[in-house]
Structures are given as C-alpha cells and as structure tokens.
Chain A
Amino acid sequence: MQSTSKTIVQTENLGMQVASPEGQLDILNDINFSILEGETLAVIGVSGSGKSTLLGLMAGLDVPTQGRVILDGTDLNGLDEDGRARMRNQRVGFVFQSFQLLASLTALENVMLPMELAGTRDPESEARNRLAEVGLAERLQHYPNQLSGGEQQRVAIARAFAGDPKILFADEPTGNLDQKTAQQVIDLLFKLNRERRTTLVLVTHDPTIADHCDRSLTLAGGRIISTT
C-alpha cells in the first residue's frame, strides 16, 4: 500500500433504500470509506449484507438514494447514465460471479467489446494479447458455451483488463467455480492486478480470498461493522 497514493473511490454517507411490501427497506446505511489508487480491498459479509449493492454503487451501475460516490475525482451523482457509462468504459473493469459473457460473441469478440465501445484502435490485437495472458490463445474463436466455467471467467478477466482500467470490481469472482479452478482464477486476477497496478475491489464471503487483499471491509445489515 502506498500512503502517498491519491483516493480513487470515496463514499460519503452512502445509503440505499428500496420499497418493499413491508415499507422502506434499508439495504445500505451511512457508508463512509475511501480506497486509494493501487490498493486491493475486500468487501466481505454474509449473504444479504449489502456487498453487491455497494459494489454496484461504487462502479456507477446504480444510483444511491442517499449520499454520493466519488470515483477517480468525479461525483457519480452528477453524471447521467451515459456519463456513468463513459466513466465505466474508460476507468472501470468488471468480473462477475456468473461471468456475464455475451453468449453470441466469441471469446475474442467478448474481449474486444469494451475497447470497440471506447473506439480503441486495433482492438483485435490487444484482445489477442489479453487472452494470451490468461492462457486462452487457443480458444479465441470459441463461444462461451464451448468453454468451461474457469475458462469463461478467464475470458471475463481478460475483458476486465482490456481497456487498461484504473479500478477493477470483482463480484464473487469464484462463486461459480470449483475450489481448484477458483484458486487459479484468484491467482490470475491478483497477478494481473499487480502487473498493471490496478485498484481492485473484491466482493467475497470467503475469508481466504479476502486475505489476499491489502484491506478488508466487513458489512452486516447494510452497515460497515469493521475495517482491517
């Protein structure tokens, strides 16, 4: 951890309420913390503690009902959906539990996609390199349903790093994988993260994975109960 680094994510009084048959339901309440550039942070907690909601708000995938998120110096509340999309495209990478690859595109096309959306020149050779880095140089033209779960998650990791994002959000990245594959994926994720000096925010309920991170933030009932 570098103490001189600047803050890349800052949450201020962040809260999220949703309507339910029983009235307003607090998903997140009064969340205040910050993440420094290059830092790795694990968000841990039991199921329903609000981990994924927090990740979604930090990445600008949803808007909070209270408070704000400042991502790389920009207040996300001040952006419309297109503005947030631009922000995600330029600075954010994602790895999801259920891989979230586009089934109609090949592995290569999936990795090319964020770069194409950003208008990057020659996205194809960049995507080839990324896939080679995750060990899938031989699987370029395969469709997601032709790949194993571990391979699909490696494609997702290659895609996440494709646009050289500043920050990577990973939501239970090993949740759908067996233990051995999960370990390989985690090793790969952290290796690339180190090499690219990316900030990593990782949502998990697995303490051993959290141990790989610089810091941990524990949520319970929508509130931060501890930071280590």
Chain B
Amino acid sequence: MKFIRQCLQTLHRDWRSGELRLIAIAVIIAVASLTSVHFFTDRVRQATETRATELLAADLVVGSPDPIAAEVISQARTAGLTTTLTTGFRSVVIAGEKMQMAEVKAVEAGYPIRGKLRIAASLFGDEMITDDLPEPGTVWADSRLLQALDLEIGDNLNLGASQLAITRILTYEPDRGGDLFNIGPRLLMHQTDLPTTQLILPGSRVQYRLLIGGDMDTVQTFRDAVEQQYQRQLRIQSIRDARPELKTALERAEQFLGLAALVSVALAGLAVAMSAQRYAVRHFDHCAIMRCLGAEQATITKLYLTQLLILSISASLIGSGLGYLAQAGLSALAAGFMQDALPAPSLRPIAIGLATGIITVLGFAMPQILRLRNVTPLRVLRRDLEPLPIKNKTTYLFAIIALALMTPWQSGNFRLTFFVFFGMLATGLVLTLCTHLLINWLNRLRSRVGVAYRYGLANIARRKNQSVSQILSIGLGVMVMLLLTLIRTDLLENWRDRLPLDTPNYFLINIQPDQVDALQVYLQRHGAQPSAMNVMIRARLAAINGKTIAPDNYANEESRRRADRNFNLTWAAELRKSNKLVAGTWWDENSTGQVEFSLEEEIARELGVNLHDRLTFTISGQEVTGKVTSIRWIDWDSFDVNFFVVANPGALDGYPGTWVTSLYLPPEQRSLVIELVRTFPSVTVIDVDAIVNQVRIIMDQVIRTVEFVFGFTLLAGLVVLLAALQTTHDERIRESALLSALGANRKQILASLIAEFLCLGLAAGVLAAFAASIIEAVLAEFVFRMEIVINPWVWLIAPLICLLLIVSGGLIGTRKVLKTPPIVALRNG
C-alpha cells in the first residue's frame, strides 16, 4: 500500500512537471483511435453481416435431415431468439399430363427472418416485395415451373396427394440455395398443407431447417452450445458458411480493416516508444540520486513499471471513453450510407482498448524504462555518464511480443494477422536497414556542404538510432496517408471495378449439347454477349489415391458435406481470368492422354486433397481417374462461371453433360429472358441480380468504412510525428542555445534546423514511397489478388508531404529554441 502511494506520488509529481503527458496523450489517442475503430467496425460488421444474412433468410440456420429436435427450438426461443421452421424437399409436381421435378419449400409465419420475398402477379411481370406468405391451400411457383408445366396464375397443380392453387409467381426467396447450378424450379407452400401432401414419409430426403435471428452474441452463444451438443446431427450455417461470393467480400473487408487497425497499433507503439525514451532520459538524474541514496535496481524497476501501469490503465480508460464518443460521431456520419440503423456497439472494444493500452505501454516503453535501473549512482557526480543504450534486439523483442499479443484482436483472424504481422516485421527490418544506409550516405555528403547542412547532417548521423526511428515513424505515418489517398483509390476502385455494371446477372444452365450453337446465334442476334460456354458434367468423387471416399471419414461437418455431394466437372484449355494458380502448373494446351485435374484451394483443403493426388470420379456409372496438377484460387465475386474441379481438354470427352454460360442483361432487356425460355424450353435461367447487388452494397460499405479507419490511422501517424520531434526536442534546444552562445544568429540557427528537418523529411519521404509501393504490391497480390500497379505519383508526393510535415512540424515544435535565452538552455543542460 505504501509502495502504491509512493508510485502515485511520483506519478503525480511527474505529471505536474509535464514529463508523462506526452506518453499519456500518445496512449489516450492510440486507445481512442483503436477503440473507436473497434466500436465502429464492430457495429458496421454487425450491420454488414445483417445485410449479408438476408441471403440466408436468417442469422443462423440449423439444418437436419430429421425434424429439428424440440429442445433445440425451445433452447433458441428461451435465449430470446426469433425462430421459424422450413421444410425443403424435392418432389414431382403434376399439372394435367405434364410433370416436373421441383424444389419445394414449406414455410410458416415469421419466414423469412432476414430479407424479403419477392413476387410477381404474372409471368416475368413487375417484381414486388412482400411480407406475405402463400395462404394455406395455395402455392407460389417460380417462372420456370410454370413454363415447364404450361401453367398460369390461378391454375391448380398437384403436389403429392394435395391439389394447390397458384396465386403468385415467386421471383426471389432469400435462401434459395448455395449452389447456383443445382437449383430446380421452386415452389413455396404453407407448412400447414404439408401433411395432406403425404410426401413426408420415413426415409424421404427432406431438409428441415430452423431459421434463427437475434443479436450476434446470443446467436453465437446458441451456435456454440448447439454445435457442442449436436455436432454430428445438425448442420449449422451462418452467412460465412453459405455463399462464397459474400464470404470473399466479407473476408476482404475484415482483412483490410484488420490491416488498417494493425498499422494504427504499430504507429501507436512507435509513439509510446519515442515518448518513453524522452521520459527515461529525463529521469536519469532522478534515478541516479535514488540509487545514490540506496535504492536497489529492482526498486527502481518496480517503481517505474507500476507507475506506467497506473498511467496506462488511466489513459486507456480515458481513451476508451473518447473512442466511444468518436464512434458515436462516426455512426452519425455513417447513417448517410448505412440503410439500416447500426446495431448498438458491444462493450468488448473497451476491454480491447484497456488491454491494448497496457500492452502498448509496457511493450514499447519497458525497454526504455528498464534502462533506468542501469543508471549508475556515479552520475550524481558525472552527468555525462548515461546507462548503456538498449540493445536493438531487446527493443525488438519487447515490441514484437507486444504486437504479437495484440494483433489477433485487430482482425479476428490469426492466420491473416500473423501473415501481416511478419510481413510488417520483415518490411520494418528492410526499411530499418535502408534507413541506416541512407543516413550513412547522407553523412558522407557532410564535408561538401555549408555549416548549416553539415550540422544538420551531423546531427542526423550522430543520433542515428533516433534518426532511424524518426525517419521510420514519420515515413510510416506518411505511408499510411498515401494508402489513405492514392493507393486506397488505386486498390479499392480497382476492386469495385471488378464488379462492373455489366457483371453477369443471369446464368443459363441445362443447355443441351445440340443447343449450344443455336443459343449462341440467338443471343448474338439479340445483342447479348454471353461469357464462354462451359460443359458441365455431373460427377461424384469416388476415391482419393485409390481410397474410397466415405463422408464419415471426415471429422469436419463441412468436409463431410463436400464429400457427400455431386461435383460439376468441366474442362478448360486455359486458366480463367478470375482464377489464380496457388500451386502446381496449368496443363499444356495440347496435352492429351493423361487425365489431369485442377482443384479450387478451399475444397482441396476440406477434402484433404494435395497436389499430385489421384482423384477418381464416377460419371454416369463410369470411372475417370486423373492426377491433381494444380490448385486454384477463385475470385468468387467476379460472378464468372467457375468450377471447383476442372479437367484438361479431352479428359472428359464422351461423358454426358450439359452446358452453362452467363450473361449480362440490362433491366430493359429482361423480356429477352421470357422469349429465351420459350425458344429453348429446356434451358434454365437463373437470375443472380440480387446477389450481385448485395455484393456491390457490401463493397461500398467496406470502402467507406476503410476510409474512416484510415482516418484514425492517420491520426496515430501524426502522434508519432509529434513524439518523434519531441524525442530530440530538449537536446535541440540545448544545442541551439550553444550555437547561439558561440555567435550563431537566428537565421543561422534556423538554417541548421531546417537543414536537419529537410534531410530527415527527404529520407522519410523516400522511405514512405518505398514502403507504400511495397504495401500496395502486397495488398494487390495477396489481399485483392490482382495485377500489381505501382503509382508513380507516390515517389513525388511522399517526399513532398514528408518535407512539409517535418519542416513545418519541426519548426513549430522547436520555436521555443529561438525564444529561450541561451543562458537558460545552457543552465538546464
């Protein structure tokens, strides 16, 4: 207790003398920016996911081939979650003489929990949003079913033992299924009519689904509990598990936000490290006196660390409070682009802010504070005796441990975080090395320049470690600014451009081989440009390396599902633009004979398939075996026709299949679809306009959020700039006073300061341009998976901004230099 009181007293004294203020401000701003980012992204993420969940019709879906256990339903309801049940199955629908296999879904009140149903009053008529459901005794059918059965609104159809009246055309249901190519014509009916159909019998293939809605935390808690209890019986899906297109968009969003937050953390750490350095230097005398009066090294360490801990907790709490206020302002701004009100923020960011503040202070300030224990008591006699500078390794070790502990919270993705973290570390090391080389080179110019520049260059070279950190931190700050402006535009616009206005919004499937040519001619005649035609052959994965596939061999539910399903195989001579090889090589165009397969990377991982494995597929009772020669990443949000498994040309010749293509039709050409299905009755048209729009909205939201997040990162960069200038402030004042004592006039002192700031600015600018180009390339390659584009303007703008910031900031920061009488500065020094 006595010790804590002593710490508080010291803290109070240091605070009064202003020595801790910069550290506190750095922590407050860092935590404020971090927590506001977390508060805000937390809410935006919730909102974005809510929007995305519309495509699942719920926040969470629990699926089972058996009726959902009553306990599960009551568990959800007890937790305060909204629930509704759907029953899905395939059945033949009969109308007069005609029959058609349809995907039937029986729903009850409350469906859909997320998103809306869309219907039309006539075939291909105007679409409208509805909150209604089919009344008992009626059904809503999609246009394909009506076309196939030659029915109209008002007609009856037979489903099992019951006869139902068609009252609406079903144009869109949010959860119509994940695999676009496996959708049959849809039929929506009321749950109460289900028993009379007598279709649900023991052994029937039925998919019972419990749709769940509620706040994210409750949903997650429920998910965790159910997953644990019914691991093997139930299939649980949230939006991320459902649609690959949205999954990619959301993952990108998280990656980008995580990356931005990570840069904020790194910058905040730098600011704290620099402030701590100044704090430590200013406490050498104090510690020397304490040591002289008998304080043990451990006492010094304990005293200062406790003091820092108290400071970091207080500053973090203040920062979290400010962060909360800041995000409230942001949310008000965001109201303009968020269609729905943002959900309330959770309190998690406060905990993150607190932990981040403490870890940042301890991780980045500790190396400096530990120097204090090594202050020799002899310093009371000889003030030039300073403790050994911290070894770089120690600094890095502390910083790395601190960052490593903090980073996973920033993005919520360990793999990405550590990838980015080590990327940053490697970049940091390379940049440090470059800065050292740059300073050495500048120092060599010293003998060829005038006194002001000589003094400036000499200062940079002498305070090499400080100069390196100043150049690095300011360079990194400016790099963030560049990312915020130029590169953000480059990358994000490019990303948005990948979903251009003419992104395919219709898929045409079930094209018979003899219809391919006629369909192409037909589409060309009507001015529609389909993408390439691809053959689609239904196959079942029978064996991997000769070992028969059994879904039960897989522990993971998703893998079991993958192993249990049919694949659509195709062949291709060339790698599609929306695909990128991640392993292996693409086959030679002319290669024949051997069967080769290329797999999508995620499905390969889930099925445990590696490069060079031999896969056996069963196609219409025949087996085809081939070697996996490449693994691909697919850009799902390109809306290109893509396949999990692609074979080399010739490998699938002779196997029965249909063809598939995609095309873009503007709204005014929609009537072409009606005509097309009349001309080619067996061709199925799938409208993906809603999904394309959904992805587009998410992209826009992400881009705007990223702008906000980078705004805070920029703020952190500016704090670093201040801290960097503050580090050498005292020394600069003393030395300028000395120059004045030796007869330098204001102009000469100013010239020497400007010379130093110019050199620092130039070095930081070059570094910022270099780092920004590297990051741009890394983001392009690994996050956005697109061609690397380097913006040449970076090399002009970065040095200019750095010069402007450092020279103006430096001069403002050192204006005291020119105002302090030399005797005062010399006496204090």
Interface residues of A (CB under 8 A from B): 52-53, 56, 59, 61-63, 81-82, 85-90, 92, 94, 96, 98, 100, 102-105, 109, 113-114, 116-118, 143, 145, 149, 159, 163, 176
Contact = CB atoms under 8 A, between A and B. Distances in A.
A86 B822 contact: no
A88 B741 contact: yes
Given A103-B462, A104-B459, A117 B742 contact: yes
**Which of B455, B741, B823, B824 is most buried by chain A, counting CB atoms within 10 A of its CB?**
B741
Nearest to A102: B735
A85 B739 CA distance: 9
A114 B822 CA distance: 15
B823 A56 contact: yes
Contacts of B744: 85, 89, 117
B393 interface: no
A56 B742 CA distance: 13
A51 B731 CA distance: 25
A120 to B, nearest CB: 11
B829 A98 contact: yes
A81 B743 contact: no
Contacts of B301: none
Interface of B: 382-384, 451, 454-455, 458-459, 461-463, 735, 738-748, 821-824, 826-827, 829
B740 A81 contact: yes
Given A56-B823, A61-B823, A102-B738, A86 B743 contact: yes
Contact of B462 (A62, A88, A143): A143
- Top 6 closest A-B pairs, CB basis? A89-B743, A104-B462, A56-B823, A61-B823, A116-B451, A104-B458
B746 A82 contact: yes
A62 B744 CA distance: 15
Contact of B745 (A86, A92, A103): A86
Contacts of A53: 823
Contacts of B821: 61-63, 81
A162 to B, nearest CB: 9
Nearest to B454: A109
Mostly helix, strand, loop or mixed at chain B's interface?
helix
B740 A52 contact: no
B745 A82 contact: yes
A81 B822 CA distance: 10
Contacts of B747: 82
**Which of B383, B463, B827 is most buried by chain A, counting CB atoms within 10 A of its CB?**
B827
B423 to A, nearest CB: 35
Contacts of B462: 103-104, 143
B455 A104 contact: yes
Contacts of B461: 104
Given A61-B741, A61-B826, 9 more contacts: A52-B827, A62-B821, A90-B743, A96-B826, A98-B383, A102-B738, A113-B739, A117-B739, A145-B384
A36 to B, nearest CB: 23
Contacts of B746: 81-82, 85
Contact of A104 (B383, B451, B463): B463
Contacts of B739: 102, 113, 117
Contacts of B463: 104
B742 A61 contact: no
A81 B743 CA distance: 10
A62 B743 contact: no
A88 B459 CA distance: 24
